[in-house]
Chain A
């Protein structure tokens, strides 16, 4: 069964607008972690933001914020004031179980975000 679902294969957004990238997940664990990564055309994976399942507040990192709705099992990424450099693939990912060095991180199918000037 799909554990991480990203329903938006691609999105176009006007520069300076905010954009929300959707992510839903499925797990029976009480302890888990949710991540968002950015992958530009170069292929490198850039860590953006992290939300622990027990974190009460939504994570924020600069222009990135994670809209964590635990009951709905959703972890949407919000990018405020989008920039041309934000054009890339974005992956939602999940770590199941408590955080340890051996914990696997699995990825959703990704959303290709394109910013229009």
Chain B
């Protein structure tokens, strides 16, 4: 099946710093990528839809200036958490979809962010 990678798999940073998370589709072109956040023992909450070559679409309540999304190519989307605070500590998961790949989309392995 199609493979989606995320880097880093985990990161610990100090409060106030920015953290960049990469999501790559390794064997297909992803016109759309989705970013989810999952707090412990909770469900995945969609943060934003990332479209190659255009601005991301954010879900209600998600601060676009805090969570910067860039989808520079058909295989790479990045999520930057700016001025991270402890409440941003979470598991961030991306999903990549392409009409050629299938209905379900494919999920990356996730990135665990801990902000001290």
Q: A47-B104, A50-B104 are contacts. A101–B97 as well, Cβ < 8 Å?
A: yes
Q: Which residues of B contact A44 (CB under 8 A)?
A: 107, 109-110
Is A104 within 8 A of B104, CB to CB?
no
Number of A-B contacts (CB under 8 A): 59
Is B46 within 8 A of A106, CB to CB?
yes
Please name 24 pairs of A and B residues whose Cβ atoms are closer than 8 Å in the assembled complex, sorted by A: A33-B103, A35-B104, A43-B91, A43-B93, A43-B109, A43-B110, A43-B112, A44-B109, A45-B95, A45-B107, A45-B110, A47-B104, A50-B104, A91-B43, A91-B44, A101-B97, A101-B98, A101-B99, A102-B32, A104-B49, A105-B95, A105-B104, A107-B43, A109-B42
Q: A44-B110, A45-B107 are contacts. A100–B34 as well, Cβ < 8 Å?
A: no
Q: A43-B91, A47-B104 are contacts. A102–B49 as well, Cβ < 8 Å?
A: yes
Distance in Å from the Cβ of B60 to the closest Cβ of chain A?
A: 12
* Interchain CA distance A32-B26 in the complex, whole Å: 27
Cβ-based interface call for B75 (8 A): no
* Interchain CA distance A114-B60 in the complex, whole Å: 34
Measuring CB to CB, which residues of chain A are less than 8 angstroms from any residue of chain B?
Answer: 33, 35, 37, 42-45, 47, 50, 52, 91, 95, 99-110
Q: Which residues of B contact A43 (CB under 8 A)?
A: 91, 93, 109-110, 112
Cβ-based interface call for B105 (8 A): yes
